[in-house]
Amino acid sequence: MHHRPSGSETRTSARTNSQGVTHASVQRRVQAGVRRGPSVPSGPYDVTTGPDDALWFTLIHSGGIARLTPDGALDRHALDSPACGPSIITPGPDGALWFTRCQDHRIGRMTVTGHATSFAVATPDSGPYGIAAGGDGALWFTQLHTDRIGRITVDGRVTEFPLPFRGAFPSAITAGPDQALWFTLNRADAVGRMDLGGEVTVHPLPTEHAAPVGITVGTDGALWFVEIGAGQVGRVGTDGVVREFPLPDRACRPHAITADPARGVCWFTEWAADRIGSITPDGHIEEYELPDRGAEPHGLTVAPDGALYVALETGRILRMEL
């Protein structure tokens, strides 16, 4: 999803106002060991760690999937349409990689050997975007343009569940610790929850025009998400209580977020500011400057060796040794 920009301080006390906005205890910018990975001009967008311990990237501008091994070897696999728009990618319960094809409205599957297949989404022009493995052995995905959540079995059978909104733009999705699916409603300023039977609960956010995008399960068992419109990181517990943490640069446009259990933090990309940030469960924020300006960091994942890999849509894969 292409969110374009529209039109450091340090705090030493923590407080939450009546709207649920928490001012983080400490915020500071630091430098990290960054190693530029291989150049991939076709626009790496999202990244995940595969079942083979390699890094798998979507190439949104060329219709491909790339695989990067721990020793730095890069393989590219072209899909059947260069304009299919592969977006979000995740490991499936069947040992393959599953990804959304946002432009031709299909769900893709690729084995670790590079064999690709795809499946049509039932509703035309739905714009599948986020995708995650559920606790029921199926993959669940969002549909940007049709206000639906989809479910696809590993043999390609698709079921769709309508949401109680119009124009909500459901975006990222993740499996929660409660066996439900949690997802962001970008244009409704809300986070949704759907159980495996399709029942929906919606949690409105305190901040108007928050525009949440990425979401993940944090190290504390809550759902953590980023608000690209408000420049905040949010947290919602399975009890529905929402907290928001303003970032030092409210115009940084945070986009994706992932958990790092070994370090006890969540990492997130600041798309418009060329930074990577981390946040602890109590709201302590650190930021890492990227070496290149205009890098457009999007998806990120923690590799098996503990390094953080970031997809830069401008054409590079970045490794951060922390």
Residue 322: its pLDDT value, please?
78
Asked whether 179 and 165 are in contact (CB, 8 A), the reply is no
Residue 3 lies in a domain: no
Tens digits of residue pLDDT in 147-190: 999 999 999 999 999 999 899 999 999 999 999 999 999 999 99
Residue 86 lies in a domain: yes
Residue 99 lies in a domain: yes
Least confident of 33-42, 56-65, 112-121, 248-257: 33-42
Mean pLDDT over 57-78 rounds to: 95
Mean pLDDT over 75-90 rounds to: 97
Asked whether 173 and 142 are in contact (CB, 8 A), the reply is yes
Number of domains in the chain: 1
Residue 321: its pLDDT value, please?
86
Residue 262 has pLDDT above 50, yes or no: yes
Residue 8 lies in a domain: no
Residue 268 has pLDDT above 80, yes or no: yes
208 is in an annotated binding site: no
Residue 16 lies in a domain: no
What is the span of the domain harbouring residue 214? 22-321
Specify the amino acid at residue 237: G
Residue 128 lies in a domain: yes
Going by pLDDT thresholds of 50, 70 and 90, the confidence category of residue 42 is: confident
Residue 30: its pLDDT value, please?
56
Query: Where are any strands of DSSP class E within 95-206?
Result: 97-101, 106-110, 116-120, 128-133, 139-143, 148-152, 158-162, 170-175, 181-185, 190-194, 200-204
**Closest listed residue to residue 302, CA positions, set 322, 280, 284:** 322
313 is in an annotated binding site: yes
Residues involved in catalysis: 298
Residue 284 lies in a domain: yes
Cα distance between residue 269 and residue 286, in whole Å: 12
Residue 5 lies in a domain: no
Tens digits of residue pLDDT in 99-132: 999 999 999 999 999 999 999 999 999 999 999 9
CATH of the domain at 190: 2.130.10.10
Residue 220 has pLDDT above 70, yes or no: yes
296 is in an annotated binding site: yes
